[in-house]
Each structure stands twice: as C-alpha cells, then as structure tokens.
C-alpha cells in the first residue's frame, strides 16, 4: 500500500535525454521527473502526502523559512547492484536524524514511517534514474523540511512542508585534500546546532570554506568553540585518523554531526585490524602525531564521497604539515573500498545495512 498519492507528470524527460544524463551525471544539476511532498498544519498533523511532478513551489514572502531559517535536510543515495536491483543504505538512521534535527529547531518531526515510504516510493517510481553501478554512480536523495507559515513574529512556525528530490550523481573520485585549521571561525558551540543537519550551519560555513580555499586547502578543519583546542569535523564531513598502533580514532559525539558513514566505518574497523576509538583529540596531539608518524593516515568521511583522504594541514600559527608521504594511505583506501563494496552489493552485508527498494 502506498502512503504517497501519485500524480504523474504529463511531460517526463524523453528516454534518450534521461539515458544521457544518467550515463554521465553532473552533481545537483538534473532532477528526476517527480518529487515527494507532504504538508504539516498545527492541529491536523502531516497530510496530503503525494508524489507530484518536480517543479516550482509557491511560498508567501513572509514564510518563516525565508526569515528565521527553520530548515533541515538529509542526504543519502540509492545504489544499483549488478543484478539491477536497487538499494538504500541505512535509511532508518537518516530518518531518526531528521527527527532529532527537527526537534532541535522546534520543527514538526516527520514520522520515520513516512520518511522511509517517501524514499521507497519515489525511488521505485524513478528507478530508471538510478545509474548503472560502474564508476560509483548512484541516485542522490535529498529529503528536506521548511517552515512555510507566513508570519513574521519570532516563534516556531505552525506549518511545515516536507520535500524529497532525487538527482543522479557521478563517480566521485575524491581528490586528496589539505585541511585549513581556521583561526577565525567555529562551526558549533556547546548547546548550539552542531548536531542538527540544518541549512544555517552550511550558510555559516561558507566564509571559512573560502578562507580555506584562499590558503590552498580544499576543506576546513574546525576546532571546538570553547577552547579552540579540540578537533571537531570538516565542513561537511566527519574526521578520522589511523594511528601506527592500529587504532581508528575519531572525535567523540557532542557538538559534531552523528554521521552514518562515521558510524559505519567505526563498525567495520575491526575487520581491518583496527580498534575503533571515539574520544576528544586535541590539535596538539594531531600536530605532534603527524610530525612523529604516530598518526599514519587521516581522512574525512560522509555520504557524498564516502572517504576523502587528507594529506596535509595548514594553519597560520603552525604552517603547513604533510601526513605521511602526502599520498592516501592503505587503510584509507581499504576502508573506502569496503564500504562501497557493501553499498553496491559486491561484499557481504553482515550488519543488515541495506534496504531493498526495487
């Protein structure tokens, strides 16, 4: 039984055109023909769950999202396996994180059952938009929620809208990056919104990202907001390091985002002879460890690139430093390949992480 009522487009993308897009996707440029939408009204709850043609939304200019930023989102992918079946990876975790993000921003939580149904039903309908698996191609899924009540008073809104759009994504061969340890910006403070996946965090990160680029770095490494001493995460990814005594160490949860990729890699670590460790890491420990060789490899992780190798650091106080020989390390490559193999059905799914859609 479907929870989303289907209203089909009269103008689907012509098959030849779609095939060309899906064969060589450009991230975030092309969208599947349909999207899932639902509306929330105080007192009535979530209703009118529907799958409709992807198109423009009309919002009143006083809609709360435009003024006070009540917006949250998620990101996950649908993977095609060699037998043509289509799967999601741990979508229940995205569903639960979406609820906790909503709670932090005083938004109406979108029920897990509806969240999963929107993914299942949209991906099943748009299965032709899921690329063939070669070259790590997949269908990127972007659930999000906004406050659409037209009201300029400052309080949580009474009306919300949920949306789910889908965009094919290409081979994301992550170029190794250097991280800029910014002296000027922090990402999150104790009691702040660091644990919520909200657009406002991203708006606030752009200045730091541009500062990093101006210093020849591909990403920012944020330190904590209170002491400016403890590693937090990169702008959009969690941070991990491999030590020379076989530990996979990552900052403990607190003001960072609880990444699905982070959790999955910690779970896989023992299969690679690594002990997973979640604890505070100071910038001094990182710097001394990289200098002495105790920190053998560093990388960032998240759904988009799975793992992005980090081959160096740069900071105004301490200058540039390379990790190891400046090349992606063997553990970094092995872990990345392992997770991709599970997602694309080439390795055994021992933890029951995959959810079949088609």
Ligand X SMILES: *Cc1c(COP(=O)(O)O)cnc(C)c1O
For residues 17-56, which are near ligand X according to CB under 6 A? none
The first and second tokens of residue 137, run together, are 């191609």
Q: Examine residue 238 and tell whether it contacts ligand X (CB under 6 A).
A: yes
Q: How far is the CB of 56 from ligand X (least distance, A)?
A: 26
Can you say how many angstroms the Cα of residue 285 is from the centroid of all Cα atoms in its chain?
A: 27
Q: Examine residue 145 and tell whether it contacts ligand X (CB under 6 A).
A: no
Residues 6+ apart with CB under 8 A from 74: 94, 97, 98, 141, 142, 143, 144, 197
Half-sphere exposure of 132 (CA within 13 A, CB side): 7
Q: How far is the CB of 153 from ligand X (least distance, A)?
A: 29
Decide: 142 and 165 in contact? Cβ < 8 Å: yes
Report CA Rg, the chain: 21
Candidate ranges 8-16, 130-138, 259-267, 320-328; the one touching ligand X (CB under 6 A): 259-267
Candidate ranges 18-26, 230-238, 332-340, 347-355; the one touching ligand X (CB under 6 A): 230-238
Q: Residue 46 or 202: which CB sits closer to ligand X?
A: 202
Classify residue 89 as exposed, middle or buried by CB count within 10 Å of its CB (0-12, 13-18, 19+): buried
Can you say how many angstroms the Cα of residue 322 is from the centroid of all Cα atoms in its chain?
A: 27
**Of 70, 233, 250, 286, which lies in the binding site for ligand X, with binding defined by CB under 6 A?**
233
Q: How far is the CB of 100 from ligand X (least distance, A)?
A: 13
Candidate ranges 29-37, 38-46, 49-57, 253-261; the one touching ligand X (CB under 6 A): 253-261
Candidate ranges 50-58, 146-154, 210-218, 236-244; the one touching ligand X (CB under 6 A): 236-244
Decide: 49 and 65 in contact? Cβ < 8 Å: no
Q: Examine residue 241 and tell whether it contacts ligand X (CB under 6 A).
A: no
Q: Examine residue 70 and tell whether it contacts ligand X (CB under 6 A).
A: no
**Of 95, 240, 260, 354, which lies in the binding site for ligand X, with binding defined by CB under 6 A?**
260
Candidate ranges 3-11, 136-144, 232-240, 314-322; the one touching ligand X (CB under 6 A): 232-240
Q: How far is the CB of 259 from ligand X (least distance, A)?
A: 3
Sign, CA torsion 195/312/185/200: negative
**Of 63, 257, 268, 295, which lies in the binding site for ligand X, with binding defined by CB under 6 A?**
257
Candidate ranges 14-22, 123-131, 174-182, 258-266; the one touching ligand X (CB under 6 A): 258-266
Candidate ranges 112-120, 127-135, 147-155, 256-264; the one touching ligand X (CB under 6 A): 256-264
Number of residues this chain uses to bind ligand X (CB under 6 A): 13
Q: Residue 168 or 251: which CB sits closer to ligand X?
A: 251
Quick note: the x/- pattern for ligand X over 123-142, rule CB under 6 A, is --------------------
**Of 34, 77, 197, 338, which lies in the binding site for ligand X, with binding defined by CB under 6 A?**
197
Sign, CA torsion 327/218/171/261: positive
Q: Examine residue 306 and tell whether it contacts ligand X (CB under 6 A).
A: no
Contacts with ligand X, residue ranges (CB under 6 A): 75, 197, 233, 236-238, 257, 259-262, 302-303
């Amino acid at each position: 039984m479907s929870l989303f009522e289907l209203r089909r487009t009269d103008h689907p993308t012509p098959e030849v055109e779609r095939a060309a897009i899906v064969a060589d996707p450009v991230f975030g440029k092309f969208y599947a023909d349909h999207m899932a939408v639902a509306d929330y009204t105080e007192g009535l709850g979530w209703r009118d769950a529907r799958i409709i043609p992807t198109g423009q939304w009309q919002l009143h200019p006083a809609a709360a999202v435009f003024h006070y930023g009540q917006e949250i989102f998620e990101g996950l992918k649908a993977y095609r396996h060699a037998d043509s079946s289509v799967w999601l990876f741990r979508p229940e975790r995205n569903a639960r994180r979406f609820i906790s993000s909503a709670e932090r921003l005083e938004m109406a939580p979108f029920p897990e059952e509806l969240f999963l149904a929107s993914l299942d039903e949209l991906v099943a309908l748009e299965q032709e938009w899921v690329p063939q698996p070669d070259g790590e191609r997949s269908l990127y899924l972007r659930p999000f929620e906004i406050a659409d009540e037209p009201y300029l008073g400052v309080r949580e809104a009474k009306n919300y809208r949920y949306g789910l759009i889908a965009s094919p994504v290409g081979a994301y061969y992550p170029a190794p990056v250097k991280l800029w340890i910014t002296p000027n910006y922090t990402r999150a403070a104790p009691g702040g919104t660091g644990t919520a996946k909200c657009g406002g965090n991203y708006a606030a990160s752009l200045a730091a990202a541009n500062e990093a680029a101006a210093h020849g770095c591909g990403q920012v490494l944020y330190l904590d907001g209170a002491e400016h001493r403890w590693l937090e995460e990169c702008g959009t990814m969690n941070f991990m390091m491999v030590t020379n005594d076989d530990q996979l160490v990552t900052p403990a949860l607190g003001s960072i985002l609880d990444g699905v990729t982070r959790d999955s890699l910690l779970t896989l670590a023992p299969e690679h002879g690594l002990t997973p460790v979640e604890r505070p890491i100071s910038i001094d420990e990182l710097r001394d460890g990289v200098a002495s060789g105790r920190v053998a490899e560093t990388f960032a992780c998240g759904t988009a690139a799975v793992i992005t190798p980090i081959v160096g650091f740069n900071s105004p106080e301490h200058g540039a430093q390379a990790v190891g020989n400046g090349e992606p390390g063997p553990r970094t490559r092995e872990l990345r390949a392992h997770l991709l193999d599970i997602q694309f059905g080439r390795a055994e799914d021992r933890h029951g992480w995959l959810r079949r859609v088609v």
